[in-house]
Chains A and B, each alone.
Chain A
């Protein structure tokens, strides 16, 4: 059984640029959620995708957007990057329950 994978591992971007992060869900899981984890904090829910549609959103602006594909993999897109967007971005997959299984994350640095 393959766990959740994310790419890239690390990324450095400049303020104002756009970034796309990718996630492959765990085998058998049809729901993908994205979280932002700032240094020293717990993860914060960004949004969730189920059946290729957004299924709930946390307190994040519209410049955070996402996609889910028919194979349940997902992308997180962030436009107009700000310095405060520097964080570990975590993808988690599940099969319609509360138990979320996380990937290793993508460390984004905005300079």
Chain B
């Protein structure tokens, strides 16, 4: 089945630093999604990407859909303490049967710690 590999697995940074993380796939994706999960909560959608090469921003977050369609990148600029959490990439195609929409495969996550 499809697999998503995220790197790095964890990051420890100082407040104000920029952060970069990426996600690679064993197969082509037509959509890339980035989520953030806080402890004890469900994942929250940050950015959705739909086109190879697309660069999309959401405040201090910027994500890119790789041109090979097998990777995606998330950057966070000027990190703040509330950026702490686990960041997941995800793409459709995690199940068999029915339409392909919304059956997401997730990476294993990047744990971000921000020191004040």
**Chain B interface size range:** 20 to 34
The residue in chain B whose Cβ has the minimal distance to the Cβ of A102 is: B42
Kindly state whether residue A63 has any CB partner on chain B within 8 Å.
no
Kindly state whether residue A94 has any CB partner on chain B within 8 Å.
yes
CB pair A102 B43 closer than 8 Å? yes
Residues of A contacting B45 in the complex (Cβ-Cβ under 8 angstroms): 99-102
Q: Tell which of B56-64, B66-74, B102-110 binds the partner.
A: B102-110
CB pair A42 B99 closer than 8 Å? no
CB distance from A65 to the nearest CB of B (A): 15
Q: Tell which of B12-20, B75-83, B87-95 binds the partner.
A: B87-95
* C-alpha spacing A55/B45, complex, angstroms: 22
User: Max chain A CB contacts within 10 Å: which of B102, B103, B104?
Assistant: B102
Q: Which residue from B44, B48, B103 sits with its C-beta under 8 Å from A102?
A: B44
How many residues of A are counted as interface, with CB atoms below 8 angstroms from the partner's CB atoms?
Answer: 32
Residues of B contacting A98 in the complex (Cβ-Cβ under 8 angstroms): 31, 33, 48, 91-92, 101-102, 104
Q: Tell which of A13-21, A43-51, A73-81 binds the partner.
A: A43-51
Residues of B contacting A35 in the complex (Cβ-Cβ under 8 angstroms): 104
* C-alpha spacing A96/B97, complex, angstroms: 15
With contacts A56-B103, A59-B1 taken as known, whether A45 is within 8 angstroms of B94 at the C-beta atoms is yes
CB pair A104 B88 closer than 8 Å? no
CB pair A104 B103 closer than 8 Å? no
CB pair A94 B103 closer than 8 Å? no
Q: Give the 7 A-B CB pairs with smallest separation, nearest first.
A: A42-B106, A55-B98, A102-B42, A56-B98, A45-B94, A56-B95, A98-B31
Residues of A within 8 A of B (CB): 4, 31, 33, 35, 41-45, 47-48, 50, 54-59, 90, 92, 94, 96-105, 107
Residues of B within 8 A of A (CB): 1, 4, 31, 33, 35, 40-45, 48, 88, 90-92, 94-109
